[in-house]
Amino acid sequence: MAITRVEVTPKQGTGMRDVRGDVVRRQLMADHGIDVSEVRSITGFLIKSSVPSSDISERVNDLFSDPIIEDAVTDTLFLTSPLHFPITPDAAITVGFKPGVTDNPGSAAYDGFRTIFTQDEPLEDASISTYQTYIFYGLPSEITAEWLATTLHNNLIQRAEIADGEACAQAQWPAIDYPEKPPQTRTRSPQIFKEVPRHQFSISYLATR
């Protein structure tokens, strides 16, 4: 099955807010006393399915985004768009789930996906994985992107892709991949038979009579 990437970001302009980005910015100030000028966010969906990307692109606004307050793109990274991100950020960090970890937002999105894309062939092997990208502007010089990443994810269940200021300047954006589950192999436990001396068997048998 192919992987289709969909990204969604809040629109910019008068009266528009990036709620996720604002939450991260306020938490950095409240928890660590770090003042960041602006934090923007991108929500990503990695769709593993036999449905063509072109079909998914046509229905993006029905499932993945609210076209009134959000913009969406298919099979590209929003950070490559000078229209949406004209200023080079100081850092960009993408956080997603590790393989095998339950992705509740992805499961919810997939329920809607199956409702919209009804097919004759079964879709049991299809799934959706989600991720979040945070883009930082006005980051204090002493704060590293690696440290920021530790505040944004739980490394027991999540993974992070990081682009520091130098990488951002070279347009080396973080791009997380679909978390393929490792193949499962089943092994049979060896059966161990212990020979019991006949006299012990007779005593145990008589004791139960």
Assign residue 134 the CATH number of its domain: 3.30.1280.10
**H or E stretch at 26:** helix 19-32
Q: Report the number of distinct structural domains present in the chain.
A: 1
pLDDT digits (tens, 9 = 90+) for 57-84: 999 999 999 999 999 999 999 999 999 9
Task: Return the pLDDT at 138.
Answer: 97
User: Is residue 188, in this structure, part of any structural domain at all?
Assistant: no
Question: Rounded CA gap, 113 and 101, in Å?
Answer: 20
Domain span including residue 61: 2-183
CB atoms within 10 A of CB 170: 10
Phi, psi of 196 (to 5 degrees): -100, 125
Q: What percent of the chain has pLDDT over 90?
A: 74
Query: 189 lies in a domain?
Result: no
Residue 106 lies in a domain: yes
HEC per residue, 137-159: ECCCCCCCHHHHHHHHCCCCCEE
